[in-house]
Amino acid sequence: MRVFFVGNGGEIQWCFSQVKGTVEEDVTEADIISCVEYNDDGELLATGDKGGRVVIFQRDQSGKSNLHHCRGEYNVYSTFQSHEPEFDYLKSLEIEEKINKIRWLKRANPAHFLLSTNDKTVKLWKVSERDRRPEGYNLKDDSGLMRDPTSITTLRVPVFKPMELMVEASPRRVFANAHTYHINSISVNSDQETYMSADDLRINLWHLEITDQSFNIVDIKPANMEELTEVITAAEFHPSECSLFVYSSSKGTVRLCDMRSQALCDKHAKMFEEPEDPSNRSFFSEIISSISDVKFSHNGRYMITRDYLSVKVWDLQMDTKPIETYQVHEYLRSKLCALYENDCIFDKFECSWSGNDRHIMTGSYNNFFRMFDRESKRDVTLEASRDNMKPKQVLKARKVCTAGKRKKDEISVDCLDFSKKILHTAWHPVENVIAVAATNNLYLFQSKD
């Protein structure tokens, strides 16, 4: 039985659980975490980094029987180099090894499978365990050298002997050469046979078994590139309807497409867009309305979109306006000029649903992340920091003040550190356990029980 742990009056009280990563101040670029993803049952948690590595953490299996420790610690399970830096000689371009996205497949046998992608190439990895090795060969001696067949006088039956557990990651498929522009999203279909990869102007549909061909299902590239007005920013398959998917754009729109209607889904079934409030119109309006992430709810009825300042909840039945809007850091509206100059205005924040679709989480600056409760309409700002690392101690809510006298617990908007940002977050699929990537550190928090 899975339990949702909820604090007072339905509110979740979050406690520090653990942190992975080094304390050093001078962080190397390669160690910066670039994506975080739980697998289907939450027993594994994968991170990708700018150095092209994938690190998989596994939940400690020993505390399963004790309810108080049922959300045991996550420990390193496997680390492997997924992508290497490459050079495109035709375009004289360096292709970074940075992992842009990781997506798990549902488990169908003892091995685990995941897709990882950099800007150009998607790879399917198999992660499997070996805890036994064959012994008793007839044609090889104990050191593995071939024996002289004429010297063999008796036959042995080979046996499997226990050995120390080894976790192996091996690339099973490489899906390359299908994208002219940078891949920003991959999404596995609910049929578990196909997946899609999206770049700035096109979305391709792949079969997991076939690497040398894909179908182009969306193409928004204009005949004349000077007429380009928007790019694709994110794409995701519906969690249960295998023909439906959405993609978001830099113009603040989300298009819902149905692959049953036509092969090339350039004509969307629905378009979700909220017209801008004319009183908020500014030079930065178009930049901050760009959607950086879109995620379906687990039940498939809703989706959330994240733009620069807010998170919006949309009902798939209603494309005229969002049913809920949550301000993430409205206090930055007055700082957009400075954020434009330091390029932070182009940061791409992700968002996550809780397992029961009641809560939403997304990141902000100063290592802050935000939680929104859709039922009580309460929200809270929390901080991923090594300063509050006492287990079981409830995290204190943080507050940002914009003007006037600052209270003791508050931080002034002028003192926020924009180099510390929470772009990547993940919520355990069935429990209140969350993973938050802060530069090169991965913080895990769980609800107080």
Residue 201 has pLDDT above 90, yes or no: yes
User: Worst-scoring range by mean pLDDT, 65-79, 143-157, 196-210, 380-394?
Assistant: 65-79
Which of residues 155 and 68 earns the better pLDDT score?
155
Contact by Cβ (8 Å): 102, 81:
no
Whether pLDDT at 4 is above 50: no
Which range has the top average pLDDT, 222-226, 266-270, 410-414? 222-226
Q: Which two tokens stand for residue 4?
A: 């949702």
Strand segments (E) across 9-118: 14-20, 33-38, 44-49, 53-59, 74-81, 86-88, 93-95, 101-104, 112-117
When pLDDT is averaged across residues 130-150 and rounded to a whole number, the result is 79
Poorest-confidence range of 16-25, 159-168, 419-428? 159-168
**Quick check: 66 pLDDT over 50?**
no
* Predicted confidence band of residue 63 (pLDDT cuts 50, 70, 90): low
Choose among 228, 249, 90, 115: nearest CA to 174: 115
Identify the CA nearest to 116 among candidates 128, 95, 97, 101. 101
pLDDT of amino acid 93: 85
> Residue 327: is its pLDDT beyond 60?
yes
CA 310 – CA 262 distance, rounded (Å)? 33
Q: Across 4-13, 134-143, 423-432, which has the greatest mean pLDDT?
A: 423-432
Q: How confident is the model at residue 428 (pLDDT cuts 50, 70, 90)?
A: very high
In 259-402, beta strands by DSSP E:
270-272, 293-296, 302-306, 310-315, 324-327, 351-353, 359-363, 368-373, 379-383, 399-401
Tens-place pLDDT, residues 354-365? 999 999 999 999
pLDDT at position 297 over 70? yes
Going by the DSSP 8-state scheme, the letter that residue 421 receives in this structure is: B
Nearest Cα residue to 366 out of 411, 433, 326, 305: 411
Strands 410-412 and 399-401: parallel
Q: What is the SS3 assignment for 207-247?
A: ECCCCCCCEEEEECCCCCHHHCCCCEEEEEECCCCCCEEEE
Q: What is the residue-averaged pLDDT of the chain?
A: 89
217 vs 277: which has the higher pLDDT: 217
Eight-state DSSP code of residue 286: H
Q: What is the pLDDT of residue 71?
A: 64
Does the pLDDT value for residue 385 go beyond 80? Answer: yes
What pLDDT, on a 0 to 100 scale, did the predictor assign at position 129? Answer: 84
Spatial distance between the Cα atoms of 128 and 317, rounded to a whole number of angstroms: 42
Q: Which residue has the tokens 């006492």?
A: 390
pLDDT of residue 269: 80
- Residue 24 predicted with pLDDT over 80: no
**Among residues of the chain, what percentage have pLDDT more than 90?**
69
In this structure, are residues 447 and 373 in contact, taking their beta carbons and an 8 Å threshold? no
Q: What is the mean pLDDT of residues 314-342?
A: 95
Name the β-bridge partners of 116: 102, 123
Confidence of residue 3 (pLDDT cuts 50, 70, 90): very low
pLDDT at 401: 85
Range in 61-75, 167-181, 237-251, 281-295 the model is least confident about: 61-75
For 253-274, what is the mean pLDDT? Answer: 87
Structure token digits, residue 402:
């914009």
State residue 113's pLDDT score.
97
**Which of 123-132, 193-202, 288-297, 431-440 is least confident?**
123-132
What pLDDT, on the 0 to 100 scale, is given for residue 87? Answer: 86
Q: What is the mean pLDDT of residues 195-201?
A: 97
**Do 166 and 129 meet the contact criterion of CB atoms below 8 Å apart?**
yes
Query: If DSSP codes are grouped into helix, strand and coil, which group holds residue 393?
Result: coil
Per-residue model confidence (pLDDT) at position 67: 43
pLDDT at 167: 86
Return the closest-CA partner of residue 28 out of 442, 441, 440.
440
